[in-house]
Amino acid sequence: MATALITGCSSGFGQLTAFELARHGYRVYATVRVPAAVENLERAAASAKLGIEVLPLDVTDRDAINPAVQQVIDDVGSIDVLVNNAGVTAVGALEDIDENEIERVMQTNFFGPVWLTRAVLPQMRAQGGGRIIMVSSLSALVGLPGESVYAASKAALELAAEGLRHEVDRFNIHVSVVEPGLFNTGMPEKIAAAGEYPRASAYSELIAFLVDRMQRNLGSGDDPQRVAEILVRIAGEQAPAFRYPAGAQAEQVVQKIGQLKESDRASFIREVHGTAWWSDGDSRPGEQA
């Protein structure tokens, strides 16, 4: 029986993937950041009649990573699939975002997955193979206004994963990234609930527009179960691809970007995000100049 270790399983993609892998016969170790969430996840798994081991793990706590990995190896002898799913977002202009917030996003979305991957790799090499899957984002490909820090964290993760892919392929270790677009998970709701930006900021009108736009789009995303199914497929494929756009939005944007000249990229981003008015120096749509 193959063993999967998944981070960020208190809700969303992580929890759905943990359940789906368990249904497909994997031995699943699901981690959650907050210890209080352990019981909730165990209760949800029991209700679904799925056997899942739940571990507390904050991926930003570097000292906790190696013991968590070792616990799984001591329990069952191997980790065959690692899904780096834990992630956080931040909304705001790059000039405004608090330095601690920038560090939090990078620690969670980039450094945490890197440290966890490094901890798992020696065992995967020793056993002669494995799967490492990074849950990235469409934002890794398109730097959108108001999401610059989040996009940077995911882009860094993807480039590290691409380099890693070529470092470990000789050991039969496959590395893939999944790039979800808009899905009905807790992440869009957190973005929509944002608004703690400096009211005197030069960017306040832009950020307010983006938050309002996200609030209007709540509930219009894809079913997150689709991402769980993609992750399970990658885990089971003999030779998985490197990049998997996930959802209608991601598929459309990736296709469009591939057809664009660099000179057209800026116009496309402004069109997709509705911020041409900002770049042109105009008033927010629907407001007087």
26 catalytic per annotation: no
DSSP 34: S
Task: Kindly state whether residue 284 falls inside one of the protein's structural domains.
Answer: no
Task: Kindly state whether residue 287 falls inside one of the protein's structural domains.
Answer: no
* Residue 289 binned pLDDT confidence (cut-offs 50, 70, 90): very low
Q: What is the pLDDT of residue 219?
A: 62
Strand-by-strand arrangement of the 81-84 sheet = 52-56, 27-32, 3-6, 81-84, 130-135, 173-180, 243-246
Of 227, 183, 7, 231, nearest to 108 (Cα)? 7
Name which residue leads in pLDDT, 257 or 69. 69
Inform me whether the pLDDT recorded for 24 exceeds 60: yes
Catalytic residue among 26, 150, 197, 203: 150
Q: What is the pLDDT of residue 212?
A: 83
Average pLDDT, the chain: 89
Q: What is the pLDDT of residue 268?
A: 79
Q: What share of the chain is helix, strand, coil (3-state, %, to 5)?
A: 55, 15, 35
Averaged pLDDT, 205-223: 79
Task: Kindly state whether residue 289 falls inside one of the protein's structural domains.
Answer: no
Task: Kindly state whether residue 263 falls inside one of the protein's structural domains.
Answer: yes
**β-bridge partners, 179:** 245
Give just the sign of the alpha carbon dihedral 17, 23, 26, 28: positive
Inform me whether the pLDDT recorded for 211 exceeds 90: no
Task: Kindly state whether residue 135 falls inside one of the protein's structural domains.
Answer: yes
Domain of 124, CATH number, reads 3.40.50.720
Name which residue leads in pLDDT, 282 or 42. 42
**Domain span at residue 237?**
3-279
136 catalytic per annotation: yes
pLDDT digits (tens, 9 = 90+) for 146-201: 999 999 999 999 999 999 999 999 999 999 999 988 777 665 555 545 555 566 78
Task: Show the beta-strand stretches assigned E in the chain.
Answer: 3-6, 27-32, 52-56, 81-84, 130-135, 173-180, 243-246
Distances, alpha carbon 84 to alpha carbons 5, 232, 272, in Å = 8, 13, 28
Q: For residue 256, give the amino acid letter.
A: K
Q: How far apart are CA 154 and CA 222, in angstroms?
A: 20
Got the DSSP string for 217-255? Answer: HTT-SB-THHHHHHHHHHHH-SS--SEEEESHHHHHHHH
Q: How far apart are CA 281 and CA 29, in angstroms?
A: 51
Q: What is the pLDDT of residue 187?
A: 59
Q: How far apart are CA 261 and CA 61, in angstroms?
A: 42
Task: Kindly state whether residue 146 falls inside one of the protein's structural domains.
Answer: yes
Q: What percent of the chain has pLDDT over 70?
A: 92
Q: For residue 38, give the amino acid letter.
A: V
* Residue 220 binned pLDDT confidence (cut-offs 50, 70, 90): low
Catalytic residue among 26, 78, 137, 154: 154
pLDDT digits (tens, 9 = 90+) for 68-106: 999 999 999 999 999 999 999 988 999 999 999 999 999
78 catalytic per annotation: no
Of 73, 31, 35, nearest to 53 (Cα)? 31
Name which residue leads in pLDDT, 1 or 222. 1
Task: Kindly state whether residue 71 falls inside one of the protein's structural domains.
Answer: yes
Number of domains in the chain: 1
244 catalytic per annotation: no
Q: What percent of the chain has pLDDT over 90?
A: 64
Tokens linked to 202: 């030069």
Tokens linked to 108: 């969670």
Of 75, 1, 15, 4, nearest to 43 (Cα)? 15
* Residue 231 binned pLDDT confidence (cut-offs 50, 70, 90): very high
Catalytic residue among 26, 29, 78, 136: 136
